[in-house]
Homo-oligomer: A and B are copies of this chain.
Amino acid sequence: MNFSTPEAAEAAFYAAFETRNLDAMMAVWASDDSIACIHPMAAPLDGRTAVAAGWHSMFEAAGQFRVQVEIAHEIREATQVLRIVREYLVIGQETEPRPPILATNLYRKEGESWHMVLHHASPLQIGGTPPARMPPVVLH
């Protein structure tokens, strides 16, 4: 598969995700073992074999869903593009999306085609104060 822009690769990524098509999913990823995929709350999966196994498990376990994607931030270089997106999943017959997942997607140009090298997805808490990385100062 040839993806002429990072956007084309990203569209193919989310189409493969939604249709739970492992071959289409792995065609989006770069061909070498430098790739890494982090599913929400999970440990990093490194290299094509582990990344494919992760998607396989997820696709086996998943029911019907749709995914809507919204760009939040972008960093464009000549041969590397980073896109931070919000993913909104609409499950089964539900009409409202679940709370968004935040994903950092990194694409690399290989010859004339763009491929994913990183997907780091994590929960995004909506409203309220996010849990701090460290506890507040103890006042004496």
Contact = CB atoms under 8 A, between A and B. Distances in A.
Q: How many copies does the complex hold?
A: 2
A63 B137 contact: yes
Given A91-B134, A132-B61, A106 B125 contact: no
A92 B134 CA distance: 10
Contact of A118 (B63, B75, B123): B75
A28 interface: no
A97 to B, nearest CB: 12
Nearest 3 A/B pairs, CB to CB: A122-B122, A41-B130, A42-B130
Contacts of A118: 75, 82, 104
A83 B128 CA distance: 30
A5 B79 CA distance: 20
Interface residues of A, number: 49
Nearest to A34: B75
User: Most chain-B Cβ atoms within 10 A of its Cβ — which of A61, A79, A125, A138?
Assistant: A61
Interface in A13-59: 34-36, 38-44, 46, 58
A120 B79 CA distance: 21
Contact of A135 (B63, B73, B130, B133): B63
B72 A44 contact: yes
A135 to B, nearest CB: 6
A63 B122 contact: no
